[in-house]
Amino acid sequence: MIPASFDYVRAASVDEAVAALTEHGDDAKLLAGGHSLLPLMRLRLATPAVLVDIGRVSDLSYVSEEPGGDIRIGALTRHHDLAGSELLRERAPLLAAVAGQIGDPQVRHRGTIGGSVAHGDPASDLPAALLALRATLVARGPSGERSIPADDFFTGFLETALAADEVLTEIRVPALMPGTGWGFEKFNRRAQDWAIVAVAAVLNDGTPGVGLVNMGATPLRAAGVESALAGGASAGDAASHAAEGTDPPADLNATADFRRHLVEVLTRRALESAQA
Amino acid sequence: MNITLSVNGRDQSGEVEPRTLLVHHLRDTLGLTGTNIGCDTSSCGACTVLVDGESVKACTMLAVQADGHEVTTIEGLAGSTGDNGAMHPMQQAFHEQHGLQCGYCTPGMILAAVSLLQENPQPTEADIRLGLEGNLCRCTGYHNIVRAVQAAATGEVEA
Amino acid sequence: MSIGERMLRKEDARLVTGEARFVDDLVIPGALWMGFVRSPYARATIDGIDASSALEMPGVQVFTAADLQDAWANPMPCAWPVTEDMKAPDHWPLAVGQVNFAGDPVAVVLAPSRYAVVDAVEAVVVDYTPLDPVMDLEAAADDATVIHEGLGTNRSYTWTLSPDPDAVDQAFAAAAHTVSERYLQQRLIPAAMEPRGVAAVPGAYGGDLTLYSATQIPHILKLMIAVTCGLPEQKLRVVAPAVGGGFGSKLNVYAEELVASALAQRLGVPVRWTETRSEAGVATIHGRGLIQDIELAADAEGHITAVRVKLLADMGAYLQLVTPGIPLLGAFLYHGVYDVPAYAFECTGVFTNRTPTDAYRGAGRPEATYALERSIDALARAVGVDGAEIRRRNYIAPDRFPYESIAGLTYDSGNYEPTLDRALELVGYEGLRLEQARRREEGSTKHLGVGISTYVEMCGLAPSRVLASLNYGAGGWEAATVRLLPTGAVQVVSGSTPHGQGHETSWSQIVAERLGVDADVVEVLHSDTAISPIGMDTYGSRSLPVGGVAVAMAADQVLAKARVIAAHQLECAEDDLELVDGSLQVRGTPSKAMTLQAVAFEAFSAHDLPDGIEPNLVGQVTYDPPNFTFPFGTHVAVVEIDEETGMVSLIDYAAVDDCGNQVNPMIVEGQVHGGIVQGAAQALWEEAVYDESGTLRNPTLLDYCVPSAAEVPQFRLGSTFTPSPTNPLGVKGIGEAGTIAATPTVINAVVDALSHLGVTDITMPASPERVWQTIEEARS
């Protein structure tokens, strides 16, 4: 219930955060909304020696549109604001829908897209949506800024391509043509629960994207489904490929076999929504 | 570390350990024991307060994160309407609809409901049930809680 | 506001404003915080405890079982030795030499703050040698490995209720239909929203101790602390402050309460502890935990001719306060609302390396109702009629009451069929069957199911002599004092100990009715043994039929005495007086009257009392009920199952309950609502899951799925009113009935939804994966 002691540092800017991470290395974790990190710290499953609080960095909460089509989302944008963003609902509605189903309203008032994504949890919903949307993640470190495609971002269980001294600053999503079909199917025991399995799908004008939640050590792209769709397969036929290349966990809520079954059902339903 | 929160309209300054949870700061340091703790996994919502007007689980926030922000606890809810001495309509609605039994989840439930109506003033029954997904109750079976929120939403609450 | 009215609760004001004080809210200057080092192993020897790192932290003290050995006059109490030869291990507040469940406390740590004690507990290092735990109930019963070596067996007791075994055998031999079913009652975590907590505060003058505890049983706890800790009973005070739900889990005597008392006494400083939710998963008792084998014998038309039941009950590692008796509370009810002439029941209690089980909402009666209501649906299938019809054929007829049951009970009153009719009507049964048929014909994969259960339960614990015959360690009476004060206000002192049930409101209504006073001038005092010294506390749906009746009787005593005094002062015969609007008036001459307040003042000043009448208007009653009460009803659940995912949605639910006369229908409804969700939760969401090493995998609310508002619908409630002849108010308890009925109602609906696939059973909870697997197996 009570975290172990730690030193606390406030960063007023991204540069200050980078400097603090550089100084403390692996001893430090970033604190944004705290809804990925604090639950772990309260159970002492995470015991960082230093917390670098970037929650007050003022210019990292935004949803804006680039001329030319990219949606740019500040890493500290809260799930609540993503769900309510008119721009997002119009240009990348999958993301707004996914954000609106994370946890519960209290969680959504605090949790941020950057915090959720940088945590690298395959059971989180947003990473799978970013895979489906072919998003790019922007990180800033001591040597400057770099862009990381979502496909390269999730490297292992609770591991991302971010270096220990890098801060995720922005998520860029190619804007979808109006009317682009999308679907999101989240399956859980109770409404507030993490997904047992979830599927985020977008039929983006010939380059379909299908992201899977909780089907492996990282969020996964359902490549088999995507190529089937690109080849003209129906929702049902495409969905039959959904479990390919996955390594779903077995836990209290489901066996691996049940997850393999669910992912096909949820994929088909997400695709049917997208095609409707 | 020294922090200042505006709690129920009053500035409260004090020294806290960085690891002090907001809920413990409110309860143990500021003596505002109305906010309750029901779990240790951010699941139950009994600790729900309003931070800058929005519902937040005070167990999943450090006191240092609330520094400089406005916090409303159940103790401050009645006063927040400016109607001196009267209960907040949501409190009154819970009373009139028998939306509480043991009362342990109630402060968090009421504040979550206040935040819900703020964001969705005309919720359907499904909106209310989903809007309270983060608040667990073991006594009421939720039936009368839903009716309380409906009553507060339609204003069918006695002054 | 008096009996029968929907009076809004007096309790609410302090609860909706956050002013109520639960135990963790209490400000106790100078208190040391207590934390417990608990075994991670289900079974192990304790080889050594190294507290050196913890002791380096400022203000930290550590105590082991050895350090506290002389604190105990007796081991932890089990107050219900159900058989003469029941085997019980010694159970000490801190484990001695060996741990027997993951969570078993090994050492207690004191530190100056809430946060520091967590750090200190973490710093204590215990050396264990893990042993293979005994987790499987049937293997435990076979004694391959004996957990408590001194007992020589894991079987604690075997208890039977078998009035005529030959009759049972004959009935089965002659039966046209027999049904033989096995059901598993999974372990449940009670998970009241308030975790437990204690604060033991030694008095300033030496020798006296006040224990604040989130308990349902301050009176019983006080006695048990005196006996276990060897403290003088007359110097103890136990206070239950506001308590955030109990459901039976706070009806116990826990190690933490005993250790806090002993340490506070020894050190002369207050000692306090608050449970975390993860800790609660292992440190607070679990509910249920049975393997049930039930057989029904029936004639060709499906009239049940015999019921035979055999239970294996998981005690857990130790016997807590009433652990062994819980399954036996259902022993008399495995034939329920049905007129059954032959009956046999047997239960064996077995130790396993898990948290002890004990009372949890319904305590034995949900289990009984489940087994019966599931198996009667199986009988319906065998006979070829639907669930409603088989029940109608078997209900005890309304003219049979009071009904002498084959199990030895006298059901006070009952009228079952109208509850079935009304529940089916509320839910729109005919329409549902049509819709179900339509979906099946279309080959829909969204399966609709309707489940029915009719229950009777025995509550209002209990006639003390009956408890004696069961070897239960205490009586079943309840005490009440009613004082009419000189200003006309009324004080009620009740031995009941509410934790959400609204007694302050209901008792006020009772007194308002009996004395003609305003419910608002009635003050109800409870839950503090200094203020309410005599009581048997709240559990077993007993408070209204026993405690509330005591209040009514005490109020009647006050009124009777008031009549004597008023008759004397008004110079009339007592019989000429009638109570009108809080005044005693001479019938026919309303100007000749005295208000009750005036009578009370006369009684207080004692200037002119009749000979033989003592001053003051006080009624005091200890009421020992002559019988249990038997509320009953029918519940109907409607579920929709998504075949592709196995997800079960509870989409509608009707409950028609009969608890006799109702003091406050609003409170009755609330109890039913909450009870239904807990019962449905056992059916669909909850289960304490263990791994092979004996660790509880889901102690938190993240993984133990207590449902939210999003998971359940609004409920359609109805009532019938068949007063109880057992007590003058005609009331029965209602606190557990909803849970008792709901579990089989929901599972019957799940089975019904899949009946066209040939499904006849599903293991609880009916999780999506279990349902999906069941459908797969049925289709293959």
> Min CA distance, C591 vs chain B (Å)?
39
Any bridge partners for residue C187, and if so which? C288
One-letter amino acid for residue C491 of the chain: Q
- Distance, in Å, from the CA atom of C246 to the CA atom of C735, rounded to the nearest integer, reads 12
A&C contacts, CB < 8 Å: 49
pLDDT tens, N- to C-terminus, chain B (159 residues): 999 999 999 999 999 999 999 999 999 999 999 999 999 999 999 999 999 999 999 999 999 999 999 999 999 998 776 666 789 999 999 999 999 999 999 999 999 999 999 999 999 999 999 999 999 999 999 999 999 999 999 987 654
Kindly indicate the confidence band of residue A176, based on its pLDDT and cuts at 50, 70 and 90.
Answer: confident
Q: Looking at the predicted structure, is the pLDDT value of residue A260 above 60?
A: yes
Closest chain A CA to residue C691: A252
Name the closest residue on chain B to residue A47, using Cα atoms. B19
Sign of the CA dihedral running B124, B125, B126, B129: positive
Tell me how close the Cα of C31 comes to any Cα of chain B, in angstroms.
13
Furthest CA-CA distance within chain C: 90
Subunit contact B134:A107, Cβ cutoff 8 A: yes
Bridge partners of B52, per DSSP, are none
Residue C435: phi, psi to the nearest 5?
Answer: -65, -40
Question: Burial level of C434, CB count in 10 A (0-12/13-18/19+)?
Answer: exposed
Contact B157, B92 (CB under 8 A): yes
How far, in whole angstroms, is CA C438 from its chain's centroid? 42
pLDDT-derived band at A210 (thresholds 50, 70, 90) equals very high
C378-386 contacts at long range (C-beta below 8 A, 24 or more positions apart): C378/C179, C378/C181, C378/C296, C378/C760, C379/C177, C379/C179, C379/C296, C379/C298, C379/C302, C379/C304, C380/C302, C381/C755, C381/C760, C382/C177, C382/C179, C382/C298, C382/C302, C383/C177, C383/C298, C383/C300, C383/C301, C383/C302, C385/C302
Contact C239, C527 (CB under 8 A): yes
User: Do A192 and C769 count as a contact with CB atoms less than 8 A apart?
Assistant: no
Sequence-ordered alpha helix ranges (H) in chain A: 14-24, 37-42, 79-84, 86-91, 93-99, 105-110, 113-119, 125-132, 150-153, 223-230, 235-239, 256-275
State the distance between the two ends of chain B, measured CA to CA, in whole angstroms.
43
Joined together, the tokens standing for residue C293 give 């084998």
Q: Which residues 106-125 of chain B have a CB within 8 Å of chain C? A: 106-107, 110, 125
- Residue of B19, B129, B149 best to disrupt the A interface, most CBs of A under 10 A: B19
Structure tokens at C127: 């050396």
Chain C, 286 to 345: residues with Cβ < 8 Å from chain B are none
Single out the residue of B126, B137, B54 nearest to residue A83, CA to CA: B54
The C-alpha atoms of residue C470 and residue A98 are separated, in whole angstroms, by 58
CB A67 within 8 A of CB A21: no
pLDDT of A69 > 90? The answer is no
- Residues in C touching A253 (Cβ below 8 Å): 767, 769
Task: Kindly list the residues from chain A whose CB atom is less than 8 angstroms away from the CB atom of residue C644.
Answer: 265
- The predicted-structure confidence for A79-88, as pLDDT tens digits, reads as follows 999 999 999 9
Distance from C-alpha of B33 to C-alpha of B24, rounded to nearest angstrom:
9
Residues 6+ apart with CB under 8 A from C210: C200, C201, C203, C236, C237, C238, C239
pLDDT reported for residue B159:
46
Does a cis peptide bond (omega within 30 degrees of 0) precede residue C681?
no
* Exposure b/e, C693-712, CB count within 10 A at least 16 = b: ebbbebbbbbbbbbbbbbbb
pLDDT of the residue at C204: 81
Sign of CA dihedral C397, C399, C405, C406: negative
Q: Which residues of C618-639 are buried (b: 16+ CB within 10 A; e: fewer)?
A: bbbbbbbbebbbbbbbbbbbbb
What single-letter amino acid sits at C552?
A
Measured distance CA(A56)–CA(B65) in Å, rounded: 9
C370 and C297 in contact (C-beta within 8 Å)?
no
Does the CA dihedral A215-A216-A217-A223 come out positive or negative? negative
Nearest partner of A200 among A111, A99, A118, judged by Cα: A99
CA nearest neighbour of C201 among C334, C34, C89: C34
The b/e string for C451-485 (b: 16+ C-beta within 10 A; e otherwise) is bbbbbbbbbbbbbbebbeebbbbbbbbbbbbbbbb
Token pair belonging to C254: 């826990």
Chains in contact with A, counting 3 or more C-beta pairs less than 8 Å apart as contact: B, C
Query: Strands, DSSP E only, in A143-196?
Result: 144-149, 154-156, 159-160, 167-174, 182-187
* Local structure of B60: helix, strand or coil: helix
Q: How far apart are CA C500 and CA A30, in angstroms?
A: 42
Confirm if C637 and C748 have CB atoms less than 8 A apart: yes
- Which residues does C499 contact at the CB level (< 8 Å), separation at least 6? B102, C216, C240, C243, C244, C245, C246, C250, C538
CB-based contact, C25 to chain B, within 8 Å = yes
Distance in angstroms (rounded) separating the CA atoms of residues C36 and B98: 38
Among the listed residues C96, C120, C128, C103, the one whose alpha carbon sits nearest the alpha carbon of residue C35 = C120
Q: Which of A38, A53, A190 has its CB closest to that of B60?
A: A38
Containing C311, the helix (H) or strand (E) segment is strand C304-316
Q: Give the closest of B18, B55, B134 to A51, CB-based.
A: B18
**Closest-approach residue (CA) in chain B for C711:** B129
- What distance in Å separates the CA atoms of residue A61 and residue A77, rounded to the nearest whole number? 4
Q: What is the 3-state secondary structure (H, E, C) of C613-674?
A: CCCCEEEEEEECCCCCECCEEEEEEEEEEECCCCEEEEEEEEEEEECECCCCHHHHHHHHHH
Distance from CA of B154 to the nearest CA of A (A): 21
Give the residue ranges of chain C where pLDDT is below 70. Answer: 206
Region of C251 on the Ramachandran plot (φ > 0 left; ψ -120 to 50 alpha; else beta): beta
- Evaluate whether C604 touches C484 at the Cβ level (below 8 Å): no
pLDDT tens-place string over residues A163-174: 999 999 999 999
Hey, CA dihedral for B112, B113, B119, B123, is it positive or negative?
positive
Looking at this protein, which amino acid is placed at residue C510?
Answer: I
Three-state SS string across C37-64, please?
Answer: EECCCCCEEEEEEECHHHHCCCCCEEEE
Q: 10 Å Cβ neighbour count for B82? A: 6
> What one-character-per-residue DSSP string does A222-237 give?
-HHHHHHHHTT--HHH
Pairing of strands C271-274, C236-239: unpaired
SS (H, E, C) A259-276: HHHHHHHHHHHHHHHHHC
A2 touches chain B (CB under 8 A): yes
What is the pLDDT, as a whole number, of residue C1?
79
Q: How far out from the chain centre does Cα B134 lie?
A: 12
Whole-number Å distance between alpha carbons of A131 and A200: 9
Which two three-digit tokens encode residue A182? 């999308």
Query: Which helix (H) or strand (E) covers residue C310, if one does?
Result: strand C304-316
User: What does the alpha-carbon distance between residue C526 and residue C218 come to, in Å, rounded to a whole number?
Assistant: 10
Find the mean pLDDT for residues A63-70: 90
